[in-house]
Structure 1
């Protein structure tokens, strides 16, 4: 098998890397960015800092700060209109996965026209839009290093996966200091999201030797530090490890794909507005338990990379340790079940058939080491509810 690997062209990685954003744009020959962010970040002064830094370098930036969690068609098209009002030569996404995913869609649709539904899989968008620069402020989505974006169609509650090289940022700024102020719940959910990315990339049927190496490195960074950043958000060493691990996990799944957890997670987010990382966390132990028999040696290697099993333990014992650890992580990071999160049993049961169809249609379950039937997926949905 020949793997096609795609990564950002340039990356600034490390403490205070954010301050090099103007230099990065200059190196890329860009001079008029549209900054895409959210209202919260815009209100913290962080975006004003970016605009001021850019202005001092002779770069005049516009701002679109109306992104929403789990980007919607309406928010993307509002951003496209904002883009059309200026002669922008690039889009800079600053924030978590939602602002960066929104920036990606704006950059493509702003150049090529249409609406997000025109770009959902099986369509693959490799012809580039405007250049995308990503500045993540959470250690989770890995969107700064992926060739995907996910946009929600509010009329159908469908999370549309859009894929292609056009969505891969040409550059990224990876500065862990941007995560120091993030609250515990967001820290936990984004952290488990990044761990899920690494595990699914490694066990995916589309894994390759390079994605394997990157995914294992991501697990080695994330697993020992999840609880540390949850317990102490100012633990700079742990924050730095989580930020790097999240980016590596993004690189891994962008080049190997995700699997059943993500396929089942997207409908939960679309129908019940559960944050993406949290819906992944709700699913990860149960899906891994079901899937593990399809790739015992691979899941065992995940356990060893995470430091919960040793090299001299057998594969079955290592997988058992992995499953125990994933359950323990959810308990220690206070991950609620769908029921505890406030979803009614009646509505959940009514939507299980719809969510099952949408999960299968996403294509991600087909990458799973053990490919589920619709009945298997429905059973897992019922298992995780309470």
Structure 2
């Protein structure tokens, strides 16, 4: 049996941003708070959204202080801004960080509790304010998930918060918002969405619904990621990546992520590596280690990505998958932790804590092969160089 959860409404396709006022009116919403980051505020995208809403008669306010890998402090600042006026919904405009911030702010708007009170294994199903997600990157899939991740800067822990309260009411998925994204951001977010799809498919929580979304995501992302990186204006590739990210988000939200994500979050928290990049650093090593426990599932991934056909054995298909993941990292210039410039002594010293934090997130428990702390430490060591 599987419990399936999706946003109540999704508007998908080029130009759908223009439908934002109509969607808000459809849900009886009139006083939105837009949460975004400084880059989008300076790029003209925020101004475009504000003009759309103001022209339609909405009382809109905007907060552009969202930070990459949102912290408790940045969430509290956004929450304080929300409470300066009366708002009936929160719009997350941007990549995973603004959407994740919008999710936790919407929940905390109706509750006086610290962010740490909401971290897994706590499940927050009782809703807060309605959440409207407008992604501008093709990566996190946060517009369709029941999760948010917030960093506790005091402990350098990335806190996974889960529950139906974080599932957006509406997602506006307009690939045209990604046309100006640079190659590095395109690569990192694209790998992130690929990892979502693969982990959702091999997860112990996989089900027929999540499988269909995951396989579709892989078919969309794998051939189009290098095209979009090479030519940022390639509309066909951009649209495919946006749909792949959405399908990947739907897949893992209704299945789960697994060991890559569990290990990735501590790297981001302690060394400030972007989420997609830390996923990419780990993906080949973790896939190779995990595959013997779900050979046919990983082989299905290889075939969906066009790396192997039905005439090749599962073992052969998985071998091609691992080689392809190593090669795409080389092609997209994904650095190892060593090449990224992380201090080796600090890395080694933090490995026990990182392994502990990875296990505490619960994600490794969904992996086909469930690791112990010592095995996670060994995988971190393999990924180092």
Q: Distance in 2 between matches of 1:285 and 1:190?
A: 17
Structure 2 alignment gaps of length 5 or more: none
Q: Which residue of 2 aligns with 1:320?
A: 319
TM-score by length of 1: 0.99
Residues in 2 aligned to 1:229 and 1:349: alpha-carbon distance in whole angstroms? 36
1:373 deviates by 1.2
In 2: Cα distance, 1:226 partner to 1:336 partner: 17
**Stretch moving more, 110-119 or 354-363:** 110-119
1:215 is aligned to 214
2:246 matched residue in structure 1? 247
Secondary structure of the equivalent of 2:65? coil
- 1:73-131 C-alpha deviation (Å, 9 max, x unpaired): 00001111111111100000000000000000000001122121010011100000000
Report what 1:96 is aligned to: 95
Partner of 2:17: 18
Tell me the CA shift for residue 45 of structure 1.
1.3
CA distance in 1 between partners of 2:267 and 2:244 (Å):
25
TM-score by length of 2: 0.99
**8 Å CA contact retained: 1:264, 1:356:** yes
Query: What residue in structure 1 maps to residue 329 of structure 2?
Result: 330
Q: Give secondary structure in 1 for the equivalent of 2:100.
A: helix
Aligned position for 2:290: 291
Partner secondary structure for residue 92 of structure 2:
strand
Query: Over residues 106-165 of structure 1, what are the superposed CA-to-partner deviations in whole Å (9 max), with x where a residue is unaligned?
Result: 000011221210100111000000000000000000000000000000000000000000
CA contact (8 A) 1:77 1:115 kept: no
Matched pairs, number: 385
Q: 1:96, 1:12 → 2: CA distance?
A: 17
Aligned to 2:2: 3
> What do you get for the CA RMSD once the two structures are aligned?
0.6
Aligned-partner SS, 2:30: coil
Structure 1: state its 5+ residue gaps: none
Deviations 1:169-197 (A, max 9, x none): 01000011100111111110000000000
Give the C-alpha shift of residue 20 in structure 1: 0.8
**What is the aligned partner in structure 1 of residue 353 from structure 2?**
354
Structure 2 counterparts to residues 1-386 of structure 1, below 5 A: 2-386=1-385
Matches of 2:213 and 2:43, distance apart in 1: 34
Q: Any runs of at least 4 consecutive aligned residues in structure 1 with deviations exceeding 6 A, and if so which?
A: none
SS in 2 for 1:162: strand
More moved, 295-304 vs 229-238: 229-238
